[in-house]
């Protein structure tokens, strides 16, 4: 309820600000919604949203799977951690734009370069979070698994992944927000479709209405992903934490 | 072969086990420590706190391999262990904790174990919902679920009040008798050892070795309080003698 009220307040604030502004600089909500409807009717909105979403998904999955594997290995093996930590620090501090431009220069204006550049920008963040998760794994449960001779697959499923789940959720949440922002930059610089490309077109034409007509649906889409996928996943993996203790003895 | 001539399931021969003290100096925890445990018998390793009992159990369980000597167990033998802390998976229900450790066990067998330890009503609960006493019982059920050739118990009654500890001891004794599981328990409590074991290995102060071995000749269920008192008194004399040596 408060969230809805908050959104209504934001719309009112936007409308109020638009009334006192040049409509070319800041159009009101209604013209923007009309532009959204127009782009949706032509099909361009969905085509571009789908292209961007596909890049977000590919880059995110690549970065998360590589980041999880490398972060886990670095968290569990001190020698590996020492070897690759300086690389990690460099990657963490490398501006996203440098990675994107280098990827396009080295691999051309291709889809692989675009997705690779986004994944590389997200990778160090995923590694750092997963490394912390691997460092925090419960050594006593490892010993229990050793004594009971759990198979590697069972160990991964029942012992490692449940402990890493909160870290995976945290990396997913921060990763998604980072990835979709960088995907727009990648599209703006070197792709011929996608929300970033359309935003670039709107910039060239000084068309704020069109810019917002693409930005708002995409933000809403990402919010839907967060609300419908990420948050339920977080709730599912942490459901065992919310139960009260019971039973004081044998009775 | 064990002392009484029965085939030994477990043979322990530790010539020495060192560890690094807080100051980084090597300290000897165990020295010339040896004993054997026959198939189907329950043994208790008794010693003062900090004498190296848990270290010894970790060596037997294969969790500590940095020692000089040998531990002999049947090839491919199954090991069940109850740690001092229950070490249950907090994100799995009680029954799932058993299933994870013993995927080959039938649902009937697991249900029977839960029933024997009065855990049936808690089968779907998560460990965080259980008291320490209940969690210990789940840990015992998990160790027995794999139908172990050797059951290791590391101070399983520590931190429980007397009534709970007595109840749990009785349950463990009944299960050991019923299932004929070869069992090794480490404890600092002589009375606990007398109630549970057929043979007691008394450890000397550090570096620990087996200073005396006491056979509990009377079957546990038939032992009178007087006999238990006499055995305890004998064990205390042995411990005093060890201290004097």
Could you state, in chain order, the average pLDDT of each consecutive group of 10 residues for chain A (251 residues)? Answer: 87 92 91 94 94 95 94 94 94 93 94 95 94 94 95 94 90 87 93 93 93 92 87 81 52 31
Q: Which of A247, A172, A169, A184 is nearest to A215 (CA)?
A: A184
Residue B88 in contact with residue B58, Cβ under 8 Å?
no
Suggest the residue from A144, A157, A237, A239 to mutate for an interface test with chain B (most B CBs closer than 10 A): A144
Q: Which of B61, B79, B164 sits opposite A249 (nearest CB)?
A: B164
Between CA B223 and CA B235 the distance in angstroms is 16
Contact residues of A toward B, CB < 8 A:
140-141, 143-144, 146-150, 154, 158-159, 162, 237, 240-241, 243-250
- Are B129 and A246 within 8 A, CB to CB? yes
Q: Which of B89, B103, B142 sits opposite A141 (nearest CB)?
A: B89
Domains and CATH numbers, chain A: 29-238 (1.10.3720.10)
Query: A169 with A230: CB under 8 angstroms?
Result: yes
CA pair distance B100, A157, nearest whole angstrom = 10
Query: What is the spatial distance between Cα B137 and Cα B166, in angstroms, rounded to a whole number?
Result: 13
- How far apart CA B225 and CA B241 sit, in angstroms, is 24
For residues B207-229, average pLDDT: 78
Which residues lie below 8 Å from residue B166, measured CB to CB, with a gap of 6+? none
State chain B's mean pLDDT as an integer.
87
Cα distance between residue A170 and residue A130, in whole Å: 9
* H or E stretch at B184: strand B182-187
Residue A185: both structure tokens together? 């930059």
Q: What is the number of other CB atoms lying within 10 angstroms of the CB of residue B101?
A: 26
Helix residue spans in B17-116 (DSSP H) = 53-61, 94-101, 107-116
Per-residue pLDDT at A248: 44
**Cβ distance of B85 and A140 shorter than 8 Å:** yes
With an 8 Å Cβ cutoff, are A246 and B130 in contact? Answer: yes
Q: Which residues of B touch A (CB under 8 A)?
A: 61-63, 78-81, 83, 85, 87, 89-92, 100-103, 118, 122, 125-126, 128-131, 133-134, 137, 142, 146, 163-164, 167-168
Nearest-CA distance A249 → chain B (Å) = 6
Are the Cβ atoms of B125 and A246 closer than 8 angstroms?
yes
DSSP-derived pairing of the beta strands B79-82 and B68-72: unpaired
The whole-angstrom distance between A73's CA and the closest CA on chain B is 22
User: Tens digit of pLDDT for each residue in B70-83?
Assistant: 999 888 789 999 99
Q: Given pLDDT bands bounded at 50, 70 and 90, which one contains residue B241?
A: confident
Q: How open is the CA angle A75-A77-A78, to the nearest 5 degrees?
A: 90
| Whole-number Å distance between alpha carbons of A242 and B92 | 13
Minimal C-alpha gap between A140 and chain B (Å): 7
Proportion of chain B above pLDDT 90, given as a percent? 47
| ipTM surpassing 0.90 | no
Q: At what angle do helices A161-190 and A111-135 cross, to 10 degrees?
A: 150
All domains of chain B in start order, with CATH: 1-76+149-156+182-245 (3.40.50.300), 78-148 (no CATH)
What is the pLDDT at residue A251?
31
Q: Going by C-beta distance under 8 Å and a sequence separation of 6 or more, which residues neighbour residue A74?
A: A80, A81, A84, A85, A88, A127, A131, A134
Instruction: Give pLDDT, residue A82.
Output: 95
Q: For position B90, what pLDDT does the model report?
A: 94
Residue A159 DSSP class: I
Count CA atoms closer than 13 A to A52's CA, side-chain side. Answer: 31
Indicate yes or no: CB of B87 within 8 angstroms of CB of A144.
yes
Q: Which residues of B touch A159 (CB under 8 A)?
A: 89
Count interface pairs A-B at CB distance under 8 A: 81
What digits encode the pLDDT tens for the residues B109-148? 999 999 988 899 999 999 999 998 899 999 999 999 999 9
- The stretch B174-199 carries a mean pLDDT of 88
């Amino acid at each position: 309820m408060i969230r809805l009220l908050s959104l209504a307040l934001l719309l009112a604030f936007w409308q109020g600000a638009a009334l006192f502004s040049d409509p070319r600089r800041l159009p009101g909500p209604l013209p923007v919604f009309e532009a959204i409807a127009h782009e949706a009717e032509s099909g361009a909105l969905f085509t571009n949203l789908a292209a961007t979403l596909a890049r977000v998904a590919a880059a995110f999955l690549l970065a998360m799977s590589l980041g999880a594997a490398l972060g886990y290995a670095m968290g569990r093996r001190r020698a590996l951690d020492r070897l690759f930590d300086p690389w990690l620090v460099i990657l963490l501090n490398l501006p996203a734009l440098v990675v994107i431009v280098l990827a396009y220069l080295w691999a051309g204006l291709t889809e692989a370069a675009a997705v690779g550049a986004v994944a590389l920008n997200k990778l160090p963040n995923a590694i750092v979070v997963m490394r912390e998760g691997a460092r925090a794994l419960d050594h006593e449960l490892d010993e229990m698994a050793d004594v009971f001779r759990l198979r590697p697959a069972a160990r991964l499923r029942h012992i490692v992944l449940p402990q890493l789940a909160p870290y995976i959720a945290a990396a997913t949440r921060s990763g998604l927000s980072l990835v979709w922002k960088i995907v727009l930059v990648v599209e703006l610089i070197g792709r011929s479709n996608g929300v970033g490309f359309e935003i670039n077109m709107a910039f060239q034409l000084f068309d704020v209405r069109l810019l917002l007509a693409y930005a708002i649906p995409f933000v809403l889409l990402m919010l839907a992903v967060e609300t419908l996928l990420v948050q339920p996943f977080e709730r599912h993996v942490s459901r065992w934490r919310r139960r009260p203790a019971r039973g004081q003895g044998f009775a | 072969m064990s002392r009484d001539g029965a085939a030994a399931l477990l043979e322990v021969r530790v010539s020495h086990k060192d560890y690094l003290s807080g100051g980084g100096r090597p300290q000897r925890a165990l020295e010339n420590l040896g004993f054997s445990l026959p198939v189907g018998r329950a043994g208790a390793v008794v010693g003062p706190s900090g004498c190296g009992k848990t270290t010894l159990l970790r060596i037997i369980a294969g969790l500590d391999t940095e020692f000089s000597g040998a531990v002999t167990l049947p090839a491919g033998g199954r090991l069940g262990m109850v740690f001092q802390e229950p070490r249950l998976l907090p994100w799995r229900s009680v029954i799932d904790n058993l299933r994870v450790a013993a995927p080959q066990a039938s649902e009937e067998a697991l249900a029977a174990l839960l029933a024997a330890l009065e855990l049936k009503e808690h089968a779907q609960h998560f460990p965080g919902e259980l008291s320490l006493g209940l969690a210990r019982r789940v840990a015992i059920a998990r160790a027995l679920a794999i139908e172990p050739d050797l059951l290791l118990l590391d101070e399983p009654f520590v931190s429980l009040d007397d009534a709970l500890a007595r109840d749990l001891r009785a349950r463990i004794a009944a299960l050991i008798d019923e299932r004929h599981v070869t069992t090794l328990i480490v404890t600092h409590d002589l009375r606990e050892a007398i109630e549970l074991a057929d043979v007691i290995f008394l450890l000397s102060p550090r570096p620990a070795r087996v200073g005396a071995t006491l056979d509990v000749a009377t079957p546990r269920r038939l032992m009178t309080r007087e006999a238990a008192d006499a055995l305890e008194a004998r064990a205390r004399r042995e411990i005093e003698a060890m201290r004097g040596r």
